Structure 1
Amino acid sequence: MMIRKLLAATGCIFCLASAAAQESPSSDTLKLDKLLDLSFEDLVNVTVVTPTRNNQKQEQAPATVLVITKDLIKIRGYRNLAEVLNDLPGFLVKDKSDPQFYNPVGLRGISRQDYFTILLDGVRISSPTNEALPILENYPIQLAKQIEVVYGPGSALYGADAMAGVINIITQRPGKEDEITAAAMGGTQGYSNTSLILNKSLKSGLRFCIAGLYSYDAQPDFSKTYPDHFRMDSHETGVFNTTLGPMTPRNGTVERGFEAPVKAYNVYASLAKDGFTMTLLHHYTAVPTSTTLSPDDAVFNRDVFYGHGVTTASAAYTAEAGKVKSVSTLTGSFYEVNPKSNFRNLYGGMEHGYKYSTGSMLKIEEQLIYSFSQTVGLTGGATYEIFQSLPKTPELQYPVSRTGARSGVLLNSVYDGNPAGIEAKFFPLVYTNVGSYLQVQYNPVRKISFTVGGRYDYNSRFGATVNPRIGSVFQPFQKTTIKALYGTAYWAPSPMVTYESFGSFYSTDSGATYRSRHWHLPNPNLKPTTSQTVEVSINQKIGKDLSVTLTGYSTKIKNIIQPVADEGNTNLYGGRFLGWEVDYIEVPMNKSSQHNYGGNLSVNATFTVGRTRFMAYSSLSYLEGEESNLTSAANDVEQPAITPWQYRLGIDGKLKAFYFSARLLQSGRQRMYQFRSQSERKRETTDGYSLVNISAGYTYKSSVTIFMNVQNALNQRYVATLPRDLEWEGSFQNPLRAAIGVRAEF
């Protein structure tokens, strides 16, 4: 019944577009600015660079690539990259679902944002050593001319970690005229967002841009939104009735109220002249680490947080000589965890357990693009990267000092008999990666093109990898485009995944001896996770204002890393750590494989009704997956933490100076980790949800815009399934929230 209703809604787009196409646009419509004054045929034929690292029309690119333009970002009121991705088919964004990186983002069943790469003008701005980061206002979509989202494996061009896809934020380069854009907004539950962009050109031909954004979100008080689940009695009394028994913090105080704020900002600067560009970006997020636990098991105070910062600097020079184009790039990137970042929950006796981590990359790349003729093009390049990393530390008694040697003391190891505690074990790394790639595009006739390429990488930690790609684009008819794609990718085990450690010791004799119930410890023998993807898509244009796309894909993933017991698997530690006995030691291990398959049916249209110009879209997505243990392929079970059915429906409109947008995400039942029974391979599910977001704005004299934004307009109370097996029933999501703001452009 639900599927029939959703397909009926999709059919309405056909009817509206067909009916509107019969009307001739009025003179008022023709005077509209370019925000929505394009046919869908024009909208899907924009120029993209990410799929091939060379300019190409979107419909000719050998990949499934979606483009979100600057105008769409404005009309839909997107405040951050997560909101953009949440409206795209195949994505699944789960807010408040991880204590470290906050909102796990899945793409076609590959869950977590460190499985895709985020770029700014082709330069990586996600963590250089691939720690998963929150996707919030830290990524500067306010600078975007367009955001290109490429689905599927990207390792043939971009190397490690581009397994699920690549997201490239293309900035608006400064023109000859100076521009200033300033915006500020505020909303319910303590949300605020301010930004400033300054573009200026000098007589010498030098162009520069300076920009920044700061966002603070006090967040809804869940003790009021979900009073049956978030009772704050423990914070009132100071005694926490945890699932491991009553605990009273020995050190530090506990504030009584529910506090779990989120903070994010980014600062950007760029210089450009002729073929030379130089950019600098620093972005930061701080998110609560109490996320996914109950108030009886964690402290919900504002000083309990995890802070990530990334600074990226790059310089590039582009030169052309005849048919050859050369792009030389030097990039440096540094990632650091705020030393005051900490967990405070039942696993550390409700004490502050401080964390720290760093990672850096220096990369040199040379790329050549050679056009033999109109039918044959060649793109190739070579890279050299050197990395340094201090993987995420275990919980520490005190914050790590930034000024001295990196060292620390294990949480809860300080006793009267051992006031110095137990020194923490750190695992600093230095490693390199050498890569080269080559891609050939061949267009024997106008309606057919082929792309063949591959990349070779040698990493000093885990050896060599080779990743080919093959793609063909065929237009049997003028308005029909068929794409057939095959590619492989690999996900490098990051220093955090490989060397992360957490756990604690306890003593019953005031520090003379120690023992532990549990430790998660490093496994330096991990191999890369690899994938193979086959994809076919058919796009059919109907007139100039209506388009239908059907996409199907199948992805097989091997060597997935999961925690396992050390005993009987890796046997690295023999039940002891730092000389003391541990009841249970777990380590990461290449344990399982996974097969994801599914598809998407999308309908897009632009049309005019009276004086109002509309753009509408609808998509129905299906995803299924099985996972199996590498040692027993017969034990295939349903993939957990996915939502098999999703439906999206949206409409954007503009009437003179007024614009509006309404978007629906209908999520089917969500799959959990728990099995229905010991004998079944089927997993438990939890309810789906309907999420409606609305935005609108009014522009005065083409320079000042007043706008509003409503999230979860139906005020749904719902949970998102967690990306790992926990006893907590799910991640509780935000209720209705509203914001209003003003933007001025000069």
Structure 2
Amino acid sequence: MKTKAGHAVALGSLTLLVAHGAFAQTRPVDLTQATLEELMNLPIVTASRISERLSDAPARMHVVTEEQIRSRGYRSLTDVLKDLSDFKVDVAGDQDYPVELTVQGLRGANRVLVLLDGIRISSPTNEPLPIVANYPVHSARQIEILYGPASAVYGADASSAIVNIISKGADDPGFSLEASAGQDGLYNQSASYAARVGTSGSLLLAGQFLYDRQPDLSKVYPGDFQGLQGQRTGTFNTIFGPMQAAGAVSPDYDIPLSAHSLQATLRLGGLQLSLFQNESRMSTTPAYTPDNSIYNDAAFNRNSLLMASGSYTRPIGSVTSTSTLTVIRHELDPESGYLNVYSNMKKSYKYAFGSMLKAEEQLIWTPRTGTTVTTGGTVERFFAIPQGADLNAPIESRDRPGTIQDTDITDDFVKLRYVNVGGYAQLQHKMTEHLTATLSARSDYNTRYGGTFKPRLGLVARVAADTTVKVLYGTAYLAPSPYQAYGHFGSFYSTDGGETYASEFWHLPNPDLKPQKKQSVEVNLLQGLGEYVGISASSFYSRVTDRIQESDPDRAGPGLYKGWPVAYIEFPVNEGNDTIYGGTLGLDFVKAVGSDRRVEARAAVTLADGHVSHEDPDVPTGVLPVGGLAPVRWNLSVDLRHGRWVLAPRLSASGRQRLRATETVGGTVARKTLDGYATADVNIRRIDVFKELDLFVLVENLFDARYRNINMRAYSNPEELIGAPQNPRRLTIGFQYELP
């Protein structure tokens, strides 16, 4: 594990970073004094890849400002998304996706693109990559969230939402240092330095390091963990019978997490250079029962990502040209793996790798006032090694595969090399003084799964001075990632000392997996009610086809793998459709009294529901509701400033949570559910305790609620807990020092 000194050296050695010319926006207002109208008209770039006002964007958008990040004490992207009613954030419910997201009724963090100044910093091949404190929220000028499908502009995987972190620039010079410590071994440090370069350039250097020992949930939820008897005795009463742990096992609950990010940004005229690196280490034990997994720090996944990008923007006559070259790679560390019933209660090892080289040319032409044409093309080259079987030992080279656990059978690497070529065009035209239309389309050809074509149409009508209506039609596709199409897992056993092998189960690749498609219609209303109050209302209807599913029991059965008999072989399939609908109603209030007193509040409630087809052969089409969501969610956030004091309480609530498992009630098949929950957080900040030094206290889960998040395999898999237990109340104190 890297030392803190090593981290400091790495931060000091960063030299160059960031973005696309269109993403280098200037702040139009002082956010500590911004009115509601100014907040509703912040400049954004994510919706159309050109600068426009938030209220004019041909998409439903939400912006989290730098001032809100500071006031509310956000230290990770997870914290930000938890406070948005449209996002259902489930923590510790899946080993590969320890932070899972459901947006507008569709579950899957792999459906959400994370960008840094318009450049992708999600996994390049869409392998699992946790969303924790490994993304640079602390150095953001604002975070732009685009809801709904956006493949017409961004290509593959822009299915549910896009989260675009916009970095500080030339208007934010200075040095900032923040450090905090919390209960149960939580330590977070971040620093950033921004400076002007020449007359119009800027340089940003930033880094964040978080370590969290985490609360001992075996004491908080004693009924679930039963004193960790297996770890204390060395004998685990698993779903397959008693098993002995291999080697000594600590009796302690010990599943720490850590994360860091390093960033550098250089903007110099039309030249922009980017460098970003992050890493996260998360336990692979939750949400297994303590009889079927070992809650020790030997079981973890360590993911790292490195992105470098350079772009050059220049005028060519009346056209603005931006040429961008991006390299990105993601690796699951060879020391990663499991320590559970399926690895026979001893450490197994996993590995995955993905990389992308992308060249893009974008042209923007404004032939006349009110009309903008944007067109571009991309060429992407990918290389991937998806996750394979549990291995006996960490691999030492990508040219030397390992052996399947408890055997001498080689688990050959699946090495994929493929290319994607795409082109897109967008016309944004002001048809009348009050009506603007945006038409976009993108076509891609991928050597793995063929061609796709995705259009988008948006109409934005300002029907009155305080009333804006948006009507949107969008499409998207979720590419079958190497993880989904080629990932494989299972095990062999031998009854004759390794002369022969057999297996009960293997999940094997399906190279013919196709993209999952989505079409959505959305209507949005923005209504001002005087100077201080605004209402936003949205409704959506989405249709998902060719759903990517882990398996189809009707197609699974016995077979051979590696030449040995397997009782049950399954593989991923495209099957069935989702129909999802819902909406969000929001109320915003902003009022300043003088220069040092201000109230900013937002309340929102989100409804999302729908049904699926072809999931259960015993259930008629259209009867089974969508699983993996909470149909009702609401949030309330308030930022109060009085002089040098800032108080920011936040409430978040979910109704009953639907799982994937089903039950029959009164002759009707329904999803099993978990109880809903409500949590409260509060951040208290004292500005300028000493010159340029702020102190803050953050209390998470203020009322010490006991609640659970969704783990999709609950009830279906007996080795898992019924719901993933969440952390109790935690107190954190810290300081921030800023030098202009």
Q: TM-score with structure 2 length normalisation?
A: 0.92
Aligned with 1:711 (options 696, 700, 712): 700
Is 1:535 equivalent to 2:535 in the alignment?
A: no
Deviations 1:329-361 (A, max 9, x none): 000001101110011111111111100000000
Residues 562 and 588 in structure 1, CA contact (< 8 A), matched pair in contact too: yes
Aligned with 1:149 (options 137, 145, 150): 145
Is 1:140 equivalent to 2:127 in the alignment?
A: no
- Partners of 2:400 and 2:58 lie apart in 1 by 47
Partner residue of 2:7? none
1:254 deviation in Å? Answer: 1.3
Residues 100 and 287 in structure 1, CA contact (< 8 A), matched pair in contact too: no
Partner residue of 1:209? 204
Residues 638 and 681 in structure 1, CA contact (< 8 A), matched pair in contact too: no
1:726 corresponds to which letter in structure 2? N
- Partners of 1:204 and 1:156 lie apart in 2 by 37
Question: In 2 relative to 1, CA 279–255 (structure 1 residues): closer, same or farther, beyond 3 Å?
Answer: same
Q: Which residues in structure 2 correspond to 1:421-440 (within 5 Å)?
A: 421-440=408-427
Question: In 2 relative to 1, CA 203–669 (structure 1 residues): closer, same or farther, beyond 3 Å?
Answer: closer
Is 1:512 equivalent to 2:505 in the alignment?
A: no
1:655 deviation in Å? Answer: 1.1
Deviations 1:658-713 (A, max 9, x none): 11101111211111223231842322222111110100111116621111111110
- Partners of 2:616 and 2:705 lie apart in 1 by 43
Q: Which residues in structure 2 correspond to 1:300-699 (within 5 Å)?
A: 300-402=295-397, 405-413=399-407, 421-565=408-552, 569=555, 575-608=559-592, 612-629=597-614, 634=621, 636-677=623-664, 679-699=667-687
Specify the SS of the correspondent of 2:575.
strand
- Partners of 2:451 and 2:531 lie apart in 1 by 48
2:608 corresponds to which letter in structure 1? L
- Partners of 1:193 and 1:548 lie apart in 2 by 36
Residues 257 and 281 in structure 2, CA contact (< 8 A), matched pair in contact too: yes
Residues 506 and 515 in structure 1, CA contact (< 8 A), matched pair in contact too: yes
Partner residue of 2:726? 733
Specify the SS of the correspondent of 1:229.
helix
Partner residue of 2:108? 112
Question: In 2 relative to 1, CA 206–45 (structure 1 residues): closer, same or farther, beyond 3 Å?
Answer: closer
- Partners of 2:381 and 2:687 lie apart in 1 by 49
Partner residue of 2:91? 95
Greater CA drift, 602-611 or 356-365? 602-611
1:165 deviation in Å? Answer: 1.4
Deviations 1:437-483 (A, max 9, x none): 00001102221000111000000000000000000001111110000
1:427 deviation in Å? Answer: 0.8
Greater CA drift, 71-80 or 683-692? 683-692
- Partners of 1:199 and 1:540 lie apart in 2 by 37
Residues 556 and 570 in structure 2, CA contact (< 8 A), matched pair in contact too: no
- Partners of 2:577 and 2:646 lie apart in 1 by 47
Q: Which residues in structure 2 correspond to 1:36-47 (within 5 Å)?
A: 36-47=32-43
Deviations 1:179-213 (A, max 9, x none): 21111000011111011112234559764222111
1:235 deviation in Å? Answer: 0.3
- Partners of 1:314 and 1:656 lie apart in 2 by 42
Partner residue of 1:247? 243
- Partners of 1:203 and 1:451 lie apart in 2 by 37
Residues 611 and 622 in structure 2, CA contact (< 8 A), matched pair in contact too: no
Deviations 1:578-597 (A, max 9, x none): 00001111110112211110
Is 1:168 equivalent to 2:164 in the alignment?
A: yes
Would you identify which runs of 4 or more consecutive aligned residues in structure 1 move more than 6 Å?
630-633
1:322 deviation in Å? Answer: 4.9
- Partners of 1:496 and 1:683 lie apart in 2 by 27
1:635 deviation in Å? Answer: 5.3
1:178 deviation in Å? Answer: 5.1
Structure 1, unmatched stretches of 5+, are 1-32, 414-420
Specify the SS of the correspondent of 1:661.
strand
Greater CA drift, 726-735 or 502-511? 726-735
- Partners of 1:674 and 1:126 lie apart in 2 by 30
- Partners of 1:715 and 1:205 lie apart in 2 by 49
Partner residue of 1:3? none
- Partners of 1:382 and 1:540 lie apart in 2 by 37
- Partners of 2:581 and 2:128 lie apart in 1 by 24
Question: In 2 relative to 1, CA 662–630 (structure 1 residues): closer, same or farther, beyond 3 Å?
Answer: closer
1:112 deviation in Å? Answer: 1.6
- Partners of 1:698 and 1:726 lie apart in 2 by 48
- Partners of 1:616 and 1:664 lie apart in 2 by 12
Residues 211 and 258 in structure 2, CA contact (< 8 A), matched pair in contact too: yes
Question: In 2 relative to 1, CA 609–198 (structure 1 residues): closer, same or farther, beyond 3 Å?
Answer: closer
- Partners of 1:212 and 1:506 lie apart in 2 by 47
Q: Give me the CA root mean square deviation.
A: 1.8
Partner residue of 2:18? none
Is 1:271 equivalent to 2:266 in the alignment?
A: yes
- Partners of 1:592 and 1:514 lie apart in 2 by 36
1:715 corresponds to which letter in structure 2? D
2:626 corresponds to which letter in structure 1? Q
- Partners of 1:565 and 1:47 lie apart in 2 by 47
1:77 corresponds to which letter in structure 2? G
- Partners of 1:533 and 1:202 lie apart in 2 by 44
- Partners of 1:477 and 1:681 lie apart in 2 by 48
Deviations 1:516-567 (A, max 9, x none): 111111010100000000000111101121100111001110111112257x
Partner residue of 1:723? 712
- Partners of 2:668 and 2:646 lie apart in 1 by 51
Question: In 2 relative to 1, CA 732–570 (structure 1 residues): closer, same or farther, beyond 3 Å?
Answer: closer
2:241 corresponds to which letter in structure 1? G
Residues 555 and 570 in structure 2, CA contact (< 8 A), matched pair in contact too: no
Question: In 2 relative to 1, CA 183–336 (structure 1 residues): closer, same or farther, beyond 3 Å?
Answer: same
How many residue pairs get matched? 701
2:725 corresponds to which letter in structure 1? F
Deviations 1:224-280 (A, max 9, x none): 11111112110011111111111113x433111001111100111222211101111
Partner residue of 2:13? none
Question: In 2 relative to 1, CA 326–260 (structure 1 residues): closer, same or farther, beyond 3 Å?
Answer: same
Deviations 1:352-383 (A, max 9, x none): 11000000000000001110111211011000
Deviations 1:81-121 (A, max 9, x none): 01111111210001111112211011111112110111000
Deviations 1:33-72 (A, max 9, x none): 9444222111111000000000000101000000001111
1:520 corresponds to which letter in structure 2? H
- Partners of 1:561 and 1:150 lie apart in 2 by 23
Question: In 2 relative to 1, CA 702–367 (structure 1 residues): closer, same or farther, beyond 3 Å?
Answer: farther
Partner residue of 1:26? none
Structure 2, unmatched stretches of 5+, are 1-28
Question: In 2 relative to 1, CA 487–324 (structure 1 residues): closer, same or farther, beyond 3 Å?
Answer: same
Residues 168 and 204 in structure 2, CA contact (< 8 A), matched pair in contact too: no
2:730 corresponds to which letter in structure 1? R
2:704 corresponds to which letter in structure 1? N
